[in-house]
Structure 1
Amino acid sequence: MHAGAKPLGFWMCTALIVGNMIGMGIFMLPAGLAPYGRNAFAGWAITVIGCLFIAHVFARLARAMPDEDGPYGYCRRAFGNGIAFFTMWCYWVSIWISNAALAIGIVGYLAALLPPLRANPALQPLAGMAIIWCFVLVSLRGALASGRVQLVSAALKLLPMGAIVLLGAWVLAGDSAAYAAHLADVPFSLDGTAAAGTIALFAMLGVECAALPATKVDQPERTIPRATIAGTLAAATVYVAVCAIPLLLLPARELAASDAPFVALFQRYWDAGSGQWLALAVIVSGLGALNGWTMLAGEVTASMAAHGIFPAHLKAANRHGAPTWSLLLMGVLASAMIGMNYTRSLAEGFTFLTMVVTAASMPLYLVGGAAVFKLAQRGVLARGKALTVSAAMSCVFSLWAFYGMGREAFWWGMALGALSLPVFWLARWRQQRRAAAGSTPTAAAPP
């Protein structure tokens, strides 16, 4: 991509949000939510509302600071390099773990189509790694190529959504008692609702996606806020219409053990072969999400390198404007995470990784909400009543999600965040060394 070129417009940014939010989560998470019974619906409702508050926060931040380098710039402007560094480190970790989770989900549905893959678990992590590297190659072709793939995949993934809604309506019309007959008999509880909501939150991650490649967005002060709100509303609507159906129509025990819940749904209520076609459509949806997150992984890594956090060579771009070394690093890390989950089943591995991703993403949402108050105090941001409520609820929702994720995911998230400390100290030491040598760094590093 030539200097000054900004290939991402409103439709590509909206497709980036919708495509990244509606990935494998909507198809895999019913298995993770099945044990929570009616708590799953309460958790979903809280999660959707919380994500709409977060979307409003990031839309207003983007409108107020169009020249900043996405969420890193917003956090740095509000709290300085130190907090911005920790926040974006955690978010960076969440992206490449998310890519590993997406690849695992895709393999789960591929196994439903390919008996040899289903019969040989040793091939499954290798298949996931191969998928990761295919999209690294796509992203190396530049943001425009990734954006075009995202537009096509976002349109294609709506087809299976429509089929799922039609199936649910057909079953309801034939036997209204079919609904709610299969929910796990679990009483309402704060812990259950919080845990279910945190699992569901993985599927809603991505409200900030349009702001991440801000330097490649056309008219960012106008495009990013519009795409953020439109994309989040569209994704939330689809989730409400689709994700409840397998929870209501499949026995909780069967659903919890399924690596491909919607395939099981169609095979039970339609015919034995219909699930195969749905599996193919689900794979397309997951591939589209992986395409978008792979591109963003490269952009976030390159942005952190440009600010002196990561080695400078990670910001180097090829002739298509793609950060080559950043994308290669993402491929290596995501592949390693897939290998580490080799001992778990596909469903267990996916659910575990979603919890870790959620834990690593929460600092960005918490700091983003807090940044509104800090920037409004400085006069950078005009704070109205609606924005104040959104910022406050974003912070409350983030803390609620931390509560719901459980000890294992929380400590995994904290451990991954702690790994940022040596990187932070190394970046500061390098800056001090350059300053002592009398050289001027090309980009600001953490203090």
Structure 2
Amino acid sequence: MHDTGTAPQSDPAEHTEDQSKHSRRFGLLAATTLVMGNIIGGGIFLLPASVAPFGTISLLAFGVLTLGAICLALVFGKLANQHPQTGGPYVYAREAFGDFAGFLAAWSYWITAWVSNAALAVAAVGYLDVLFPLGDSKFAMMLAALVVQWLPAAANFAGTRYVGAVQVVATVLKFAPLLLVAIGGLFTFSTDNLGPFQASGSGAVGAVSASAAILLFSYLGVESAAVSAGEVRNPRRNVGRATILGTLGAAFVYLLGTLSVFGNVPHDKLVDSGAPFSDAVNHMFGGTWGGTVVAGAAVISILGALNGWTLLSAQTPYAAAKDGLFPSVFATKKRGVPTVGVIVTVILASLLTVYNYTAGSDGVFEILVLVTTFTATVPYLLATAAQLYFLISGQSERVNRGRLVRDGILAALAAGFSMWLVAGSGYAAVYQGVLFLFAGVIVYACMSARKKRAATAS
């Protein structure tokens, strides 16, 4: 017997507030760009060089990962159709397995969001340095990273109307140069640049697994529309569509862009490249202006990702706070945005950024970022497990019996993909990620006790 009863319903007050001039519910286009913008951050600009040492066999690994991500996206779409509330994986896990599972999904997703935001901001500094040389001043770099974090936060404070607008504009602007390479690069493609199919000394299976370990986290963000389902117009229809369209759009850019870079930059140069898309543009058009173009695209890409992730980082705690599983202050919402969640998230990310630049040790920050690759998979695994639970338990309101086998296979594949993500995190990340989860157990004990006492008093 679970202690949740029925899934939490959408708050009518939210819908009333969503009609204000500052708060507008996302349409299909805005929801799709939210998914695409969150999946594609700044990592794509280094991915081709990261997997080049394994040879073109890494494209095979990318293809397998794309199929796994699409399966996960389809599962999120089906879950959102039955549970169109803000919170995504938190809502699904809580409905299936109770408060504790829901809390773990919310807690781990929240950790992933604010640590990843700090990482994205720090990554943006390298690209900003190309556009506006910062010198060797750590203070200037730290200030730039903080500005990069607080600008998207300002868009969030302004309301969901502006979050959606910024997301659409950022996605269009960053996709223009990426599509230029992905499509234009095919016209200057040369098979002589591809290098060996298998460049590493390991066997084919080992090479695919090793390259996959680098690429595994390229699709984090497929759940973006589901997490913000409460802010999407007609969520039963649009969340699933946005999730699939956004994932397919990101997959198109990922696969075609990586292939084009492979065919435009000689393999021996690509292995050591620090800006593979810049090198590809230079090869396509000549000159050395590619670095500036790619740097601008990378900054726009990261700002767009931060804009979306800042909203998502507040949505899951908001849903949990409404159920008494997070501090009640996180349930505060203005202009369609959980403003307290945004503030707390940005402050935590800013403190981590300051620590990165003042502690004198890069290792600690990299370890924390690696931990997020594990914490991000916890909500995925719980959500896919929830779908399997709904299917196997035969709950008629959630199961289309004529499609039971198909939906079951899809959920099983998505669960397997989630497990692969956990394995790809590495032993150290899993070990330290579990410590983060255990810290959450203490928080849950306190919140659960308060909830029980309040219920008893009433």
TM-score above 0.5: yes
- Matches of residues 36-435 of structure 1 in structure 2 within 5 Å? 36-38=54-56, 40-66=58-84, 69-117=87-135, 119-166=136-183, 168-172=185-189, 175-180=190-195, 184-188=199-203, 190-247=205-262, 250=265, 260-267=275-282, 270-318=286-334, 320-342=335-357, 355-376=370-391, 377=393, 378-382=395-399, 384=403, 385-435=405-455
CA–CA separation in structure 2 for the residues paired with 1:339 and 1:204? 28
Residue 442 of structure 1 aligns with which residue? none
Distance 1:55 1:70, change over 3 A: same
Q: Which amino acid aligns with 2:338?
A: P
Q: Is the CA contact (8 Å cut-off) linking 2:182 and 2:258 kept in structure 1?
A: no
Q: CA deviation at 1:132?
A: 0.6
Q: Identify unmatched segments of 5+ residues in structure 2.
A: 1-13
Of all paired residues, the percent bearing the same amino acid is 32
Contact 2:183 2:256 in 1 (8 A): no
User: Which sits farther off after the overlay, 329-338 or 214-223?
Assistant: 329-338
Q: CA deviation at 1:189?
A: 5.0
| Contact 2:194–2:267 (CA under 8 A) maintained in structure 1 | no
| Matched residue, 2:44 | 26
Counterpart for residue 17 of structure 2? 3
Alpha carbons 2:57, 2:198 under 8 Å: kept:
no
Greater mean deviation of Cα atoms: 269-278 or 101-110: 269-278
Q: Quickly say closer, same or farther: Cα 1:114–1:418, change in 2 above 3 A.
A: same
Q: CA deviation at 1:366?
A: 1.3
Residues 101, 252 of structure 1: alpha-carbon distance in 2 compared, 3 angstrom cutoff: farther
- Cα distance in 1, alignment partners of residues 453 and 273 from structure 2: 55
Q: Is the 8 A contact 2:56 2:196 kept in 1?
A: no
Mapped partners of 1:260, 1:129: distance in 2: 24
CA distance in 2, matches of 1:390, 1:149: 33
Higher mean alpha-carbon deviation, 60-69 vs 351-360, is at 351-360
User: Distance in 2 between the 1:67 and 1:150 partners?
Assistant: 21
Moved more, 73-82 or 397-406: 397-406
1:445 equivalent in structure 2: none
CA deviation string 1:280-336 (max 9, x = no partner): 122112211111111111222222222212211122123x23222211111122123
**C-alpha contact 1:194 1:403 (8 A) present in aligned 2:** no
Segment drifting more, 241-250 vs 142-151:
241-250
Shift of 1:60: 0.7
Instruction: Report the CA distance shift for 1:216/1:10 in structure 2 as closer, same or farther (over 3 A).
Output: same
Instruction: Note if contact 2:49-2:274 (Cα within 8 Å) is conserved in structure 1.
Output: yes
**1:310 to 1:4, Cα distance in 2 relative to 1, 3 A:** same
Q: Residue 17 of structure 1: which of 19, 26, 35 is its match?
A: 35
Separation in 1 of the partners of 2:97 and 2:186?
A: 50
Contact 1:70 1:214 in 2 (8 A): yes
* Partner Cα distance (2:149, 2:245) in 1: 28
Segment of structure 1 superposing worse, 177-186 or 58-67: 177-186
Name the TM-score, length of structure 1 as normaliser: 0.87
Displacement of 1:179: 2.0
**SS of residue paired to 1:115:** coil
Q: Structure 2: how far apart are the matches of 1:277 and 1:350? A: 28
CA distance in 2, matches of 1:296, 1:284: 19
Contact persistence 1:194–1:401 (CA under 8 A): no
Per-residue Cα deviation, 1:220-259 (whole angstroms, up to 9, x for no partner): 1111111111111111111111124445655778656655
The amino acid that maps onto 1:429 is: A
Are the aligned partners of 1:129 and 1:335 in contact in 2 as well (CA < 8 Å)?
yes
Q: Report the CA distance between 1:67 and its aligned residue.
A: 5.0
My pick for the range that moved more, 239-248 or 271-280, is 239-248
Change (3 A) 1:225 1:166: closer
Shift of 1:121: 4.6
TM value normalised by structure 2: 0.86
Give the distance between the partners of 1:243 and 1:355, measured in 2 at CA.
23
Matched position secondary structure for 1:309: coil
User: Hey, what's the Cα distance between the residues in 2 that align with 1:3 and 1:273?
Assistant: 47
Runs (5+) with no aligned partner, structure 1: 440-447
Q: Note the C-alpha offset of 1:35.
A: 4.1
Give the drift of 1:186. 4.1
Residue 11 of structure 2 corresponds to: none
Q: 1:324 to 1:46 in 2, by over 3 A?
A: same
